[in-house]
Amino acid sequence: MSTIPARYPVMFIGHGSPMNIIADNKFSSDMVRLRQRLPDPEAILVVSAHWLTRGTRVTAGSDPEQIYDFYGFPKALYDFVYKAPGSPEVAEKICEAAGSGLIVPDSQRGIDHAAWAVLKHIWPEQKIPVLELSLDIAREPRYHFETGQKMAKLREMNILVIGSGNIVHNLHEVDFNENADPYPWAVDFDNVVKKLLEAKEFESLINYTGLGKNAMRSVPTAEHYLPMLYTLGMISDDEEISFVHESIQNGSVSMRSFISD
């Protein structure tokens, strides 16, 4: 895919453990393969599960800091450098696209691993400007979906938007073996979400707390689930959702990733 499309694809990536930064596994190889179907955008905006705020913010510095927002991992992860530029100009475009002062620029905030741990596999050159969007953690799920709808026009501005989190993310029951057998409840909810995505039953995904006890066990806190709702809000009726990776790591973390174009 080499020509610039009239409407850039939108994606959700399950980023999982920071170990995926240096891992050579099916997830990392699928992320590398993604590059083959994506033209270079003007900029990349990542909706981060790891930036929780009151109100919604977007990084607006020209040289954002790389944030190592994880602890107790091997030294190789902290030695890895991903220093893509930022763009105050693109931040302004994002704020204008959302309208009504919904998103405000933050020139001090850096880029956390929800963005760079994924992008290092897809765009290792570190030349395309990268920005992050925060999650207003005080808001209900529908707010995040509707904010995604307001941002949909970014796709016509050659800006790639990626929701970065995990559909199933229960660290209370995590197994530190990446290849541990998935818990049945995690498999069940991951499959429920897959079917709802394929059917584009977005209302059920917005109201995920009504999907039963496995949903609540899979999403004990919302911050890794909410970035997906931004992606869903940006999908048009005439598009299909296709899965670019499917797995469950560490027993209780779904790496399911999808694209709509």
* pLDDT tens-digit map of 92-144: 999 999 999 999 999 999 999 999 999 999 999 999 999 999 999 999 999 99
> What does the pLDDT read at residue 68?
98
Task: Tell me the CATH number at 128.
Answer: 3.40.830.10
Q: Residue 173: in which H helix or E strand, if any?
A: none
CA dihedral (61, 38, 163, 29) positive or negative: negative
Q: In terms of Cα–Cα distance, which of 82, 28, 33, 50 is closest to 249?
A: 28
> What does the pLDDT read at residue 207?
98
5 domain residue, yes or no = no
Hey, what amino acid is at 40? D
Torsions phi, psi for 201 (to 5 deg): -90, 70
Q: How many domains does the chain have?
A: 1
1 domain residue, yes or no = no
224 domain residue, yes or no = yes
139 domain residue, yes or no = yes
2 domain residue, yes or no = no
Domain of 33 in residue numbering reads as 10-260
For the chain, give the percent of residues with pLDDT over 90: 97
> What does the pLDDT read at residue 55?
97
Q: Is the pLDDT of residue 2 over 60?
A: no
3 domain residue, yes or no = no
> What does the pLDDT read at residue 5?
79
- Average the pLDDT over 216-220 and give the result: 98
4 domain residue, yes or no = no
Q: Which is it for strands 241-245 and 257-260: parallel, antiparallel or unpaired?
A: antiparallel
Hey, what amino acid is at 45? L
Cβ partners under 8 Å of residue 34, min gap 6? 121, 122, 244, 259
Q: Is the pLDDT of residue 164 over 50?
A: yes
- Average the pLDDT over 44-68 and give the result: 98
> What does the pLDDT read at residue 4?
73
> What does the pLDDT read at residue 1?
46
> What does the pLDDT read at residue 189?
98
Structure tokens of 184? Answer: 């049945």
**What's the whole-model pTM score?**
0.97
179 domain residue, yes or no = yes
